[in-house]
Structure 1
């Protein structure tokens, strides 16, 4: 998932916004060159800002400023401690987490082990309806917190040792648990977030209190902006700027115009229609970097029109990925024919096999034999820069399958997610993914497990679930990867989604900022960015 997770924009997987009415500080976004400077960063309207409920990139970008993770990742995607002093285990089942001393929440409260335990129990308790509930599944006692009337409110696997130490006992050994702890769901929440034990205040989400390098400045201005300011008591690396305005746009084209005019400082995703001119428009302010995004077309497998895997495979074979990547994305993305990102160990090319190959003749035969629907609807979020590639895709489906096809835009990514969560008929729908933490399991478990946190298509295969579980419990990385690859092979057979593209960060910034860096999770590094002299 910080994205880490579902993505709204076309070049990644998840984000959102409101337009020029949301411009906030206007042309002052990157003023000055001192520690009192402010920068503006485009995001989309987050779905949530509670750590255990934030599974899309817009919300995750904000939370990376407000919170400090237990671990982060180095250039080799290996975890290193940030808020944690150490995370150790002798058997990959019982883990001891020691916190660094000196961290405080933005209200001045000292961060303790109880703040992690309380936050994680809140996220795992099913009646709270947290989107990241799934991420606590590996902790002992998790099943007792599930269902409409859970047996318990606290997981037995969480135990306080002292104010700066707690243990986590997993139901089964998990080789990548330390790596997993960089995800947003594992942030702490202060006592002030709760009105009673296990009861989150309604107001908390509007002004989250974290322990990161920035603190909220005012409250979340929905569909407009979120302002944060540097937290000077932060014990880690201090931010170079005083204030950040996360500015919410409804259209990437409006944000791009603002970057060109120096009225917006950072645009994390260049709109597809501007990719051919952006290098010239922006000069050295046009940048690229590696990213873990995965764009795919998902199907409501519970819908009779798309229940047959052959229908889904036929649609895949009718799409010329290479042509769309070339004509729409100007080569800034690469065609995807596998279900995990090339940035990960264990990636294999073309795991989708024949279903990933462009073959319109065979596609039409298979589609007709499988009884595919006469009309294909592709729903997408209109705030993410997807229209051009969706239009190209539906035109290919019309020509290659001989069916009617149409793209339907939902105003915001949050709107699309809400509809598919409720199983409102939307036809096929675009989705994207940015890894939550760097393992194959993160591309498989959340998206395709029967109870996966981001399985919006109702896909379920017991053998797939079994293999992912076995991979998680493996004793070595090689054994884990072998199991995960077997699970990916099942996806190729069932084809619950169509892999389309792997992305990279393609971003731009104003002349008022420098040292703009973006990570594999499609997030701007808020500590490194500086105001230009």
Structure 2
């Protein structure tokens, strides 16, 4: 979702005040630290573990252990250097990236500028089909790496140039003042020479045991639908972890993870299941925690399908959903109803940008739906490994009652399965999506999701005016000017409504008695450099 993330599990939205502190402080660990112990953290099955192909929260949590980003973000969401020594520009078009010396990959290779250039060129090259290729679009030469058919004109980005082993330049096709901010995203991690069997060809099997340059290295291989294990990398030159390793334990059902936390058989559950929210504070005491998040939950339309191509059909469905009631009855007021397309955590957020489409009005919704020729049956698809069934069922019940339609929920076993079907444009009806920002910018809630070639535009939405406003915002000289353009773009989304904003998230998480200093960031990730095991 660092990073953008399509969120697999129900994100439990933002408190009304963004100054929310974790309930109960750092939680239960009062025992002596045990740096020789590993901790166990819940995730869903990742879709991928190649940085340029990973665009969901579970995969990015694993990669955050294996890689160190060029930049991270401070309390004001401003970027600061991590693996980079500096990221500078005098014109917002040509950027110079200097790397800190001393970083090595887990196989012993020294990290150089070539490792970033190789990884980014691989990710940007159209035939490689990387999910995050879109994020290289701003770099000069990107269009030459794409082709609707046949072979593209080029295999490498003309905007990438090596200066020396620890320095490279990035020339953008247009000025972009937030480029440094982007560099915290997963797609911009480096890859070792060993990741490639030939120039531009990923080595077979690399994804099963990724080699990074971060604080942890792989321990064995990715055990699909079971676990991914990592161990502390002693040669890491940055801030050292306080644990010996992490077992990322893969769960299909959030309730099973919750039961394991209660019995100390799992150390961190990143999202408390909806059915356990009302008892979590009693069950866990000060080990039940909350903190701000950047997540947004939506119901999305396949706008390319005739039955959902009319914006009036989409608006009528939105008006037939009582967000406030579902937030209260299902989520026990732990979420905030959403009526805008961006999160309150970023500059430029405005309340209720969808206007009348966000008002619960069953009579008007049914009249509009009938007049627009809405379908007699609605299917709501979601991932069964994410704790969504209760609110999907409640939404279906409202649509049945308020629109007079048949409504059914369709659970795909895993989030990765749903994404695969969406990418292939298979018919799934309306579908649940969640978004966690990649980097702190209003643009990140708009471009990847709704631009014509956005990396997570699974709805087929395309509006040239929207694309133009995004481009103008990106070229703006400062944040204030950029925000004005992005807000105009959001206003177009409110008219077209390719998705229905439903809820903003906050982190509602819990941990066992065997860990302390458990924190989660705005990106749905456990901070792996702060967590400690206790004896």
TM-score range, shorter chain: over 0.9
1:87 corresponds to 2:87:
yes
Query: Is the contact between residue 3 and residue 184 of structure 2 (CA under 8 Å) also seen in structure 1?
Result: no
**Partner of residue 172, structure 1:** 174
Distance across 1 between alignment mates of 2:409 and 2:2: 28
**Partner of residue 483, structure 1:** 485
Q: Which runs of 4+ in 1 moved over 4 A?
A: none
Distance across 1 between alignment mates of 2:169 and 2:92: 12
Moved more, 33-42 or 104-113: 33-42
**Partner of residue 503, structure 2:** 501
Distance across 1 between alignment mates of 2:312 and 2:529: 48
**Partner of residue 38, structure 1:** 38
Distance across 2 between alignment mates of 1:441 and 1:114: 29
Distance across 1 between alignment mates of 2:125 and 2:239: 34
Query: Is the contact between residue 106 and residue 211 of structure 1 (CA under 8 Å) also seen in structure 2?
Result: yes
Query: Is the contact between residue 3 and residue 433 of structure 1 (CA under 8 Å) also seen in structure 2?
Result: no
| Aligned pairs for 1:349-428 within 5 A | 349-428=351-430
Query: Is the contact between residue 251 and residue 382 of structure 1 (CA under 8 Å) also seen in structure 2?
Result: yes
Query: Is the contact between residue 241 and residue 531 of structure 1 (CA under 8 Å) also seen in structure 2?
Result: yes
Q: Give the deviation of 1:194 after TM superposition.
A: 0.3
**Partner of residue 62, structure 1:** 62
RMSD: 1.2
Q: Give the deviation of 1:423 after TM superposition.
A: 1.1
| Aligned pairs for 1:96-175 within 5 A | 96-147=96-147, 148=149, 149-175=151-177
* TM-score with structure 2 setting the length: 0.96
Q: Give the deviation of 1:532 after TM superposition.
A: 2.0
Distance across 2 between alignment mates of 1:3 and 1:426: 27
Q: Give the deviation of 1:463 after TM superposition.
A: 0.2
Query: Is the contact between residue 2 and residue 434 of structure 1 (CA under 8 Å) also seen in structure 2?
Result: no
**Partner of residue 316, structure 2:** 314
Q: Give the deviation of 1:2 after TM superposition.
A: 5.2
Distance across 1 between alignment mates of 2:417 and 2:34: 40
* Counterpart among 513, 516, 519 of residue 514 in structure 1: 516
Distance across 1 between alignment mates of 2:115 and 2:12: 32
Query: Is the contact between residue 12 and residue 334 of structure 2 (CA under 8 Å) also seen in structure 1?
Result: no
Distance across 2 between alignment mates of 1:35 and 1:184: 27
Q: Give the deviation of 1:4 after TM superposition.
A: 2.8
Secondary structure of the equivalent of 1:379? strand
**Partner of residue 6, structure 2:** 6
**Partner of residue 223, structure 1:** 225
Query: Is the contact between residue 4 and residue 522 of structure 1 (CA under 8 Å) also seen in structure 2?
Result: no
Distance across 2 between alignment mates of 1:425 and 1:52: 26
Distance across 2 between alignment mates of 1:105 and 1:397: 52
**Partner of residue 209, structure 2:** 207
Query: Is the contact between residue 473 and residue 480 of structure 1 (CA under 8 Å) also seen in structure 2?
Result: yes
1:223-278, Cα deviation, whole Å (9 max, x unpaired): 00000000011001000000100000000000000000000000000000100000
Secondary structure of the equivalent of 1:511? coil
**Partner of residue 24, structure 1:** none
Distance across 1 between alignment mates of 2:124 and 2:69: 18
Query: Is the contact between residue 12 and residue 508 of structure 2 (CA under 8 Å) also seen in structure 1?
Result: no
Query: Is the contact between residue 2 and residue 57 of structure 1 (CA under 8 Å) also seen in structure 2?
Result: no
Distance across 2 between alignment mates of 1:425 and 1:373: 14
Gaps of 5+ in 1: 14-30
Count the aligned residue pairs.
Answer: 517
Q: Give the deviation of 1:3 after TM superposition.
A: 4.2
Gaps of 5+ in 2: 14-30
